[in-house]
């Protein structure tokens, strides 16, 4: 797996323990290293451990890797050293799929057209112009992939952005089964769509 032209999703560990998958494609490969070009600007620390995911025969596999180089420029190109053998990644873990380039929006509380940056079966992250209270429950209306989801959501995490805006993680309650099921379908659909795009660009 992870040969030239293969779509790849990169998982970068974070202090918040969120599992966000960043889509890209393999542009160089050898038995010990591979190089990926990613859609979104990301910069994991050199020598840090990451996981790369790839679809093979309709199933996901993961390859442990170590970041060895972030190439200069605006192409989002990163070089990795393979770390161990590929293993199956088929599980019930929740991964957040980056959707920055999809143009999805949400209404968060009274704030409309907030940009959605990632999504999973449990919730999503959005860029908001006003500060919200951590732990509070807000009403959300999410428009993405031709679907509209309305639900209460708990403000789970916040990151202050240089622009003066805020990135909030919003958790849909487990009791709202229909909303979570809809998010699961959208998240899985976005993974498939991004893989198809990456194959077409290879």
What letter does residue 44 receive in the DSSP assignment? P
- Give the C-alpha distances (Å, rounded to integers) separating 159 from 75, 81, 116, 128: 25, 30, 14, 10
Distance CA 4, CA 75 (A): 16
Q: Would you tell me how many other CB atoms lie within 10 Å of the CB of residue 68?
A: 13
What is the tens place of the pLDDT at every residue in 23-46? 899 999 999 999 999 988 888 999
* Owner of token pair 């442990």: 64
Give the residues across from 20 on adjacent strands: 96
Contact between 35 and 24 under an 8 Å Cβ cutoff? The reply is: no
**What DSSP string runs through 94-116?**
--EEE-GGGT-EEEETTEEEEEE
pLDDT at 130: 92
**Terminal-to-terminal C-alpha distance of the chain:** 15
Helix, strand, coil share (%) of the chain residues, nearest 5: 15, 50, 35
Residues, the chain, total? 202
pLDDT higher than threshold 90 for residue 81 = yes
Average pLDDT over residues 66-89: 89
Distance CA 141, CA 130 (A): 17
Q: Which CATH architecture has domain 7-93?
A: Roll (2.30)
pLDDT at 34: 96
The sign of the torsion formed by the CA atoms of 26, 49, 63, 103 equals negative
pLDDT at 200: 59
pLDDT at 49: 87
Instruction: Compare 69 and 201 and report the one with higher pLDDT.
Output: 69
Domain positions in the chain are 7-93, 99-195
Average pLDDT over residues 103-121: 91
- The residues, ordered by sequence, that sit 6+ positions from 191 with a Cβ below 8 Å of its Cβ are 9, 21, 97
What is the tens place of the pLDDT at every residue in 116-148? 999 988 899 999 999 998 888 899 999 887 888
Instruction: Compare 171 and 101 and report the one with higher pLDDT.
Output: 171
Q: Classify domain 99-195 at the CATH class level.
A: mainly beta
pLDDT confidence band for 178 (50 / 70 / 90): very high
pTM strictly above 0.75: no
pLDDT higher than threshold 70 for residue 175 = yes
pLDDT confidence band for 79 (50 / 70 / 90): very high
pLDDT at 129: 93
pLDDT at 98: 84
Average pLDDT over residues 42-52: 90
Distance CA 194, CA 150 (A): 25
């Amino acid at each position: 797996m992870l040969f030239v032209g293969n779509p790849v999703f990169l998982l970068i560990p974070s202090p918040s323990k969120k599992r966000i998958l960043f889509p890209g494609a393999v542009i160089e490969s050898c038995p010990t290293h591979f190089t990926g070009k990613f859609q979104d600007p990301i910069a994991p620390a050199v020598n840090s451990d990451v996981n790369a995911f790839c679809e093979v025969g309709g199933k996901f596999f993961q390859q442990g890797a170590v970041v060895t180089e972030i190439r200069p420029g605006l192409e989002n190109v990163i070089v990795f050293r393979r770390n161990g053998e590929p293993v199956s990644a088929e599980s019930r873990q929740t991964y957040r799929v980056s959707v920055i380039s999809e143009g999805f929006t949400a209404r968060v509380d009274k704030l409309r057209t907030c940009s959605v940056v990632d999504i999973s079966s449990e919730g999503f992250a959005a860029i908001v112009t006003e500060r919200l209270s951590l732990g509070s429950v807000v009403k959300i209306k999410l428009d993405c992939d031709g679907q509209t989801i309305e639900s209460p959501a708990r403000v789970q995490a916040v990151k202050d952005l240089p622009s003066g805006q805020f990135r909030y993680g919003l958790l849909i309650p487990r009791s709202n089964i229909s909303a979570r099921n809809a998010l699961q379908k959208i998240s899985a659909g976005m993974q498939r769509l991004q893989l198809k795009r990456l194959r077409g660009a290879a």
